[in-house]
Amino acid sequence: MRPPIEETKRIFVETLRQFAEQDVPGGAFVIHVRIFAAGGLAEALKDEKIREYLGKKDLFVYTVGFDEGKVYVNKILLDGEEIKLEKIAEYQVTLEHADLLNRSLKDRGGVTFA
């Protein structure tokens, strides 16, 4: 059973806090679309140490254009706590991706891809 999104956000922020405190090396992070959409990154950016740490990283998130049937790959641009997305790629949702999305959205009243 999946943890509620609020618990997932708490764990996400705590993980980033630990990374920031230990200054874990690495240049890029891909933020999962569900945690991004639920405000996990916005919540994390309230912490100054996390904000400073992530400000030195390349951040990415994929989003889904349900109406277009497309997946967008976005670079996340940070300005303090403000988050902007810059689309860097897009592609059609594949059958495999549609299956994953449908399973992910099951029992959530979401859109079903064919």
Q: Is 56 exposed, middle or buried (0-12, 13-18, 19+ CB in 10 A)?
A: exposed
Residue 90: its pLDDT value, please? 96
Tens of pLDDT, residues 9-59: 999 999 999 999 999 998 899 999 889 989 999 999 999 999 999 999 999
Which residues fall within 8 angstroms of residue 94, CB to CB, at 6 or more apart?
A: none
The Cβ-side half-sphere exposure at 38, using a 13 Å CA radius, reads 15
